[in-house]
Homo-oligomer: A and B are copies of this chain.
Amino acid sequence: MISFRNDYSEGAHERVLEALACTNRLQHSGYGEDEHCRAAGDRIRTLIGQPGAAVHFLSGGTQANMTVIASILRPHQGVVAADTGHIATHETGAVEATGHKVLTVSHHQGRLQAEDVHRLVEEHAADSAFEHMVQPGMVYISNTTELGTLYTRDMLHALHSVCRQKGLPLYLDGARLGYALTSEGNDLTLQDIARCCDVFTLGLTKQGGLFGEAVVIVNPALQKDFRYHIKQRGGMLAKGWLMGLQCEVLLQDDLYFKLARRAVGLALHIRDSLRGLGVAFLSDSPSNQQFPIFSQQVVDCLAQNWGFNLDQPLPGERRAIRLCTSWATREEDVEALIGDIRRLLATEGAGAAR
């Protein structure tokens, strides 16, 4: 059974594996203090146009989120996020386990809006007894979001502006940043992101690597002692060069972007084909995650041949599912999936017509 369940079902792009094999018996310094981590960091600094940025490699995304957030906040502060934000929903309270509240506001198609951040901070300050409430201390966004949507340049600038005005560091979770930057309608560059965000990540796990995330700390005030935090939270691998090396390979010849662009193309082909069949979607996603809505019956039939994730039930016994493409998705599987859905919908339509 072929799975469109997520974008981390396969290993790594073959060039990553080859690099691991080539360097396998060479000796490296441990804990990320090696030439590959250094070279990958240099490459990122060049790409984002920030020679002073600090780059670190951590073992995974939840690890990166909790480590970054706990390193920035003081004990009485919380992190502002959309209520669909990964840190608010699917990280088992990792942020709370470091002592901090996630201050959620309602999402807009998975996005956090600048005006909501502004209002939250104002409400906090206006309260006559504000020290009885958690102080907003930073802002978390993800791009693409958990619903596959994007931040435009205007949206990111607006967030950046309110964050600067209120003294809140802005952190962007880029577990799927490559998909965002190669999506339909994207008008952001890595340089824009580095100018607007104090810290952001470049996901490796979901974008052609085996594991790991690159944490980029643009703001010098937030760079101090970050390696202590990585070690303390358990995200520092003994063989840290493995992550630097993967990142190095993925950033050579734009492989990171090429893989993402291809995956997005396949996802949009699914989207457009399904739209052509009259299928509605949970979110208006221009990226590698698509959330088409089907009847429960179609979902059940589809599940016999294909792997995918279910989303929450919808009114009228309808159901959104998540279909993901990745660097490893095969075109023939995409076509077969679309064909199967077409047949199921036709059968359903015929049944309904009867």
Write the residues of chain A forming the contact surface with B, with a CB cutoff of 8 angstroms: 2-3, 5-6, 8-12, 14, 17, 20-21, 23-31, 59-63, 66-67, 70-71, 74-76, 78, 89-94, 96-102, 128-129, 131-135, 205-206, 210-211, 225, 227-239, 242, 307, 309-310, 328
Give A133 Cβ to nearest chain B Cβ, in Å: 6
> Are A131 and B92 in contact (CB-based, < 8 A)?
yes
Q: Which B residues lie within 8 Å of A60 (CB)?
A: 59, 234, 236-238
Q: Which B residues lie within 8 Å of A66 (CB)?
A: 234
- A6: which of B30, B94, B225 is its contact (CB, 8 Å)? B30
- A27: which of B2, B97, B232, B236 is its contact (CB, 8 Å)? B2
> Are A62 and B30 in contact (CB-based, < 8 A)?
no
- Counted per complex, copies of this chain come to 4
> Are A89 and B11 in contact (CB-based, < 8 A)?
no
> Are A90 and B132 in contact (CB-based, < 8 A)?
yes
- Most chain-B Cβ atoms within 10 A of its Cβ — which of A20, A75, A211? A75
With contact pairs A11-B242, A225-B135, A242-B11 given, residues A62 and B231 touching in the complex (Cβ less than 8 Å): yes
Q: Complex formed: what's the CA distance from A206 to B237 in Å?
A: 11
> Are B17 and A24 in contact (CB-based, < 8 A)?
yes
Q: Which B residues lie within 8 Å of A2 (CB)?
A: 27
With contact pairs A67-B234, A238-B61 given, residues A28 and B9 touching in the complex (Cβ less than 8 Å): yes
Q: Which B residues lie within 8 Å of A28 (CB)?
A: 9-10
Q: Complex formed: what's the CA distance from A328 to B23 in Å?
A: 13
Q: Complex formed: what's the CA distance from A99 to B211 in Å?
A: 27
- A11: which of B9, B23, B228 is its contact (CB, 8 Å)? B23
> Are A238 and B211 in contact (CB-based, < 8 A)?
yes
> Are A232 and B63 in contact (CB-based, < 8 A)?
no
With contact pairs A10-B24, A17-B20, A96-B134 given, residues A91 and B237 touching in the complex (Cβ less than 8 Å): no
